[in-house]
Amino acid sequence: MGHEQEPEARGSWVSYRPDIKILDCTIRDGGLVCDHHFSDEFVRAVYEADVEAGVDYMECGYKASKKIYPPSQYGPWKHCDEDDMRRVVGDNPTDLKLSVMADAERTDYKEDILPADESVFDTVRVAAYIHQIPIAMDMMIDAHEKGYEVLMQLMAVSVVSDKDLREGLDVLVQSPASAIYIVDSFGALYSEQVRGLTQVYMETVEGTGKDVGFHGHNNQQLAYANTIEALILGANRVDATMNGIGRGAGNCPLELLIGFLKNPKFRLRPVLKCIQDHVVPLKQDMEWGPKIPYNITGQLNCHPRLAIGMRSGDSPDDYVAFYDQMIEEG
Amino acid sequence: MGHEQEPEARGSWVSYRPDIKILDCTIRDGGLVCDHHFSDEFVRAVYEADVEAGVDYMECGYKASKKIYPPSQYGPWKHCDEDDMRRVVGDNPTDLKLSVMADAERTDYKEDILPADESVFDTVRVAAYIHQIPIAMDMMIDAHEKGYEVLMQLMAVSVVSDKDLREGLDVLVQSPASAIYIVDSFGALYSEQVRGLTQVYMETVEGTGKDVGFHGHNNQQLAYANTIEALILGANRVDATMNGIGRGAGNCPLELLIGFLKNPKFRLRPVLKCIQDHVVPLKQDMEWGPKIPYNITGQLNCHPRLAIGMRSGDSPDDYVAFYDQMIEEG
């Protein structure tokens, strides 16, 4: 992409943009490490820290189908029933917006998502792969008509062709979503690709009032770096998790992001406090963060599921065998 | 820096540049975690892996003054005596160049650096802060006259003013160094700063035949990301260590760098093998890698020594107390 015209930056590292909105997906993405079996105490600690830190959104989990994901096997944040959520946050008398993720083909959205005026949630974020855009559109219209703010998470963009992406985005800008996120599901994108994608998304949403967001994964230790690149080129919705907790290599660490933004509306200290009191202790039973098997799947632009399996198997440190397997499969 | 003219990229992530040279500073920078008490077996394993991986340089340690750093307190790679080195690599009958670091004011270079034809080392890298440039010049001339290739490591560039930097570089281009490195000693630089610095260094060396290098630290999980940015803008000398081993937050991981470069002269597999057999086991006794205290010192653009002290003290996970202390001191 070196020979295309370089896009203009929207700010430098010493400036700040009041329009930037952070979504903390600690419970949603972190929940993928433990089948969403977080204690109420943990979810409350994250909620209180997000409120104090000035974070804009807390994504509390999924509205997953109970037929596909039985409540007997998953923790409450896989389904985010109203009663479970209210047990932790009451009626949420704060400025923090509560968001829930609805996965295409894995959510009984017509039944399980209540009208917004009966719900403690403010926002529904629909997640879909490119081939699921028609379903995603129906889900977004459904949520919008029920009264929610709607966000759109177009997953695994690193394996979507430019042509398909432009066609997909042309459909998604017709949706009621207030933001469309660039999602690097495999942690495969390099900075120049992030810059190119941000430019494409920004052009597509121009004049629609929609925002562009970025959701990174840390397979190559680039989640935070790529988040900054997207921000510089105009994305103003960014995702992060406390201490980078998330499936496999995890996510952009919230503590790094807030430190970078220098935005007076955000405060770092409550995030550090929550991490040391509540997140670090989880490491006794859970693993996340960049490790060599995730480097390899990231570099190969493929789903980290094989790396996750390898880390929980008999030879979690046999990097060479894993590398041999991955290049063989390729 | 958004309003300056954007520099042109020298390649994209799918291209490769045969001119890129990697220096593996595992033993030198990693040695700072253990006072250079690495076993011969470990150093030999790194050496053999570097040879097999096609790495260009192996930095084996320091030529530190024995008056300042008594051999009774430090391992052999603090001084890199010829006998110690030859015990591990023989006469080094390979294409891998062996490099040694000479710190300004901490090296008795006139006495301790032998003529190159009596030495197993090929290269001397001089490390100096901006105020030590006159000494560094004398050290480089001395090493060059003795027959070595010379490299220049201008440290802590994140705390040097633009004016001082340009004046310093104007002196350094008169030196016999074949490359001048941008050194982010505090892991404080963001991508746009790295791009700006790379542009300045590239302009300064233009027409001199000298190369520009980059040496990052991982305090903010940006060592690898920043290395890529420097490469894209024309730096062709880059430093890395196996599994990112290095003082505090460590360095750019060699395994990520080689995976990115896609350069047929480099091979990833021997690096992975050395990491799993020799580097990972060190983690039982040594700590390195990005952690919250290093995030904080990186964000504040200061030396990580307080964070290193905190991690080896009584409250290694009291991030809030450390944060409070650091913003108080500021």
Residue B109 DSSP class: H
All residues at 6 or more sequence positions from A289 whose CB lies less than 8 Å from its CB, including other chains? A218, A244, A249, A250
d(CA B243, CA B224): 12
All residues at 6 or more sequence positions from B166 whose CB lies less than 8 Å from its CB, including other chains? B200, B204
Tell me how crowded residue B292 is: count the other CB atoms within 10 A of its CB: 24
- Measured between CA atoms, how close is B130 to chain A, in angstroms? 24
Look at residue B98 and tell me whether its pLDDT is greater than 80.
yes
> Hey, of A269, A315, A319, A325, which one would you mutate to test binding to chain B, going by the most B CBs within 10 A of its CB?
A319
What CATH superfamily is the domain A21-284? Aldolase class I (3.20.20.70)
Q: Measured between beta carbons, which residues in chain A are less than 8 angstroms from residue B243?
A: 292
Rounded to 5 degrees, φ, ψ at A101 are -95, 135
Average pLDDT of the residues of chain B: 95
A288, HSE (Cβ side, Cα atoms, 13 Å): 26
All residues at 6 or more sequence positions from A114 whose CB lies less than 8 Å from its CB, including other chains? A82, A146
Look at residue A2 and tell me whether its pLDDT is greater than 50.
no
Rounded to 5 degrees, φ, ψ at B239 are -105, 150
- B272 and A190: CB-CB below 8 Å? no
Q: Could you give the dihedral angle defined by the CA atoms of residues A207, A211, A212 and A213, in that order, rounded to the nearest 10 degrees? A: 180
Inform me whether the C-beta atom of residue A11 falls under 8 Å from chain B C-beta atoms.
Answer: yes
d(CA A76, CA A319): 35
**Using N-to-C axis directions, what is the helix angle for A223-232 and B191-205, rounded to 10°?**
80
Query: Could you tell me which of A256, A266, A271, A179 has the C-alpha nearest to residue A222?
Result: A256
Inform me whether the C-beta atom of residue B301 falls under 8 Å from chain A C-beta atoms.
Answer: no
Task: Return residues 281-300 of B near A (CB < 8 Å).
Answer: 292, 295-296, 299
pLDDT value at position A16?
81
Least confident of A13-27, A56-70, B59-73: A13-27
Confidence of residue A4 (pLDDT cuts 50, 70, 90): very low
d(CA B318, CA A268): 14
Chain centre distance of CA B231:
15
pLDDT digits over B197-234, tens only?
A: 999 999 999 999 999 999 999 999 999 999 999 999 99
pLDDT value at position B269?
97
- Measured between CA atoms, how close is B2 to chain A, in angstroms? 5
* Single-letter code of the amino acid located at B251: N
pLDDT digits over A15-40, tens only?
A: 788 899 999 999 999 999 999 999 99
Whether the predicted model's global pTM rises above the 0.90 cut: yes
d(CA A239, CA A303): 19
Residue pair B107/B65 in contact (Cβ under 8 Å)? The answer is: yes
| Distances in whole angstroms, Cα of residue B59 to Cα of each of A320, B23, B31, B70, B77 | 25, 7, 11, 21, 10
Residue % of chain A over a pLDDT of 70: 96
Confidence of residue B6 (pLDDT cuts 50, 70, 90): low
Residue pair B78/B35 in contact (Cβ under 8 Å)? The answer is: yes
pLDDT digits over A108-139, tens only?
A: 999 999 999 999 999 999 999 999 999 999 99
> Who among A13, A276, A318 is closest to B318 (CB)?
A276
- A320 and B12: CB-CB below 8 Å? no
d(CA A211, CA A56): 14
pLDDT value at position B330?
52
Q: Residue range B128-139: average pLDDT?
A: 98
pLDDT digits over B71-81, tens only?
A: 999 999 999 99
Name the strand (E) or helix (H) holding A183: strand A179-183
Query: Could you tell me which of A247, A217, A211, A204 has the C-alpha nearest to residue A231?
Result: A211
pLDDT digits over B279-295, tens only?
A: 999 999 999 999 999 99
Two structure tokens written together for A9:
């930056």
d(CA A53, CA A55): 6
Inform me whether the C-beta atom of residue B268 falls under 8 Å from chain A C-beta atoms.
Answer: yes
Query: Could you tell me which of B86, B39, B30, B40 has the C-alpha nearest to residue B62?
Result: B30
Least confident of B3-17, B100-114, B139-153: B3-17
pLDDT value at position A7?
57
d(CA B320, CA B32): 27
Rounded to 5 degrees, φ, ψ at A234 are 120, -10
CA nearest to B275 within chain A: A319
All residues at 6 or more sequence positions from B104 whose CB lies less than 8 Å from its CB, including other chains? B126, B127, B128, B129, B132, B135, B136, B139
pLDDT value at position B262?
84
> Who among B229, B256, B318 is closest to A221 (CB)?
B256
Name the strand (E) or helix (H) holding B162: helix B162-172
Rounded to 5 degrees, φ, ψ at A151 are -120, 155
Inform me whether the C-beta atom of residue B320 falls under 8 Å from chain A C-beta atoms.
Answer: yes
d(CA A139, CA A27): 22
Structural domain boundaries in chain A = 21-284, 292-329
Confidence of residue B17 (pLDDT cuts 50, 70, 90): confident
Rounded to two decimals, the ipTM of the complex is 0.92
- Measured between CA atoms, how close is B63 to chain A, in angstroms? 32
Least confident of A44-48, A100-104, B116-120, B313-317: B313-317
d(CA A78, CA A84): 11
Residue % of chain B over a pLDDT of 90: 93
pLDDT value at position A12?
72
Confidence of residue A214 (pLDDT cuts 50, 70, 90): very high
Query: Could you tell me which of A130, A131, A142, A71 has the C-alpha nearest to residue A102?
Result: A142
pLDDT value at position B93?
97
pLDDT value at position A30?
98
* CA angle centred on A217, ends A127 and B243, rounded to 5°: 160
Confidence of residue B162 (pLDDT cuts 50, 70, 90): very high
pLDDT digits over A276-301, tens only?
A: 999 999 999 999 999 999 999 999 99
Two structure tokens written together for A139:
């889900």
